Amino acid sequence: MSLLQATVLGFVQGVTEFLPVSSSGHLVLFQTLFKMKEPMIAFDVALHAATLLVVVVYFWKDVAEVVSDFWNSMTGLISRKSVETSGIQAPHKGLWICILITMIPTGIMAVLFKDFFEKAFSNLFFVVCAWLVMGILLILSRRFQKGQKDLSVIHYGDAFWIGLVQGVALMPGISRSGSTILVGLLLGLRKETAAKFSFLMSIPAVLAACVLELRHGAGFFLEYPAASFAGFAAAVISGYFVIRWLMSLIQKGRFYLFGFYCIAVGLFSLVMVVFS
């Protein structure tokens, strides 16, 4: 892998990870364009770690509140004493429980369908189908963007369903952010709330995936240290600016517009499949 290829893939990851267009699908597409024969799972994990860092930095106040509430709750549980919560109130009070609940269906699907998901990364036609479905759903989302629920009223059932969809989004072509935000909107969450919860819940899920795959990727990082760093840096820089732009678009109710892009890139990739 060259520095140029790594930088391009890192930029693609940073731009597409937060937009509802499937970063994994774009990585498959560009790896196909670069004629990379094997799926670069280790490198993909490094790029996801980069965008994970972006989420933590961008939502650092929310992350700090959730982590503090979790720590206080665990300390109180262990000591069996009432612990000062440092003034943490709704919407962050108890939110960590909902975030952990999302990991249950996601983790089950990741374990049960691990081989299927990994094979999908080598199948551009599968990605094409997923993109077209994602595009249609995003366009239809224009009809249900009037929810009024905020983070303080997300209940465990909401968290389970959003986590289940996050598990489905392990498939390339299905956007993790797009699908989870869509379900949040269907459950009556405000546009901004659905987006914020989607990104907050991604932190433990992506972190767990990175830890699990790290043991398989150590050799890759040692073989391509410069390329790994270049991709990581490109993903961090591009990702930070994109997440700011996306949150602005969501507030303006223009989330559905990405559906047209998904359909367009899906059709472009279909042409590649047919004539390759």
Whole-prediction pTM value?
0.83
Would you state the pLDDT for residue 197? 94
Give pLDDT, residue 37.
55
Which pLDDT tens digit goes with each residue over 180-206? 999 999 999 999 999 999 999 999 888
Alpha-carbon distance of 46 to 102, in angstroms, equals 23
The ranges of the chain with pLDDT < 70 are 36-42, 77, 79-90, 213-222
Q: pLDDT value at position 39?
A: 52
Amino acid 242: pLDDT: 93
pLDDT of residue 13: 83
Note the pLDDT of residue 139.
Answer: 92
DSSP assignment string, the chain = --HHHHHHHHHHHHHHTTTTT-HHHHHHHHHHHTT--S--HHHHHHHHHHHHHHHHHHTHHHHHHHHHHHHHHHHHHHHTS----TT--TTTTTHHHHHHHHHHHHHHHHHHTHHHHHHHTT-HHHHHHHHHHHHHHHHHGGGS----B-GGG--HHHHHHHHHHHHHTTSTTS-HHHHHHHHHHHTTB-HHHHHHHHHHHHHHHHHHHHHHHHHHHHHHHHHSHHHHHHHHHHHHHHHHHHHHHHHHHHHTT-GGGHHHHHHHHHHHHHHHHHH-
Q: Round to whole Å and give the CA distance between 180 and 255.
A: 13
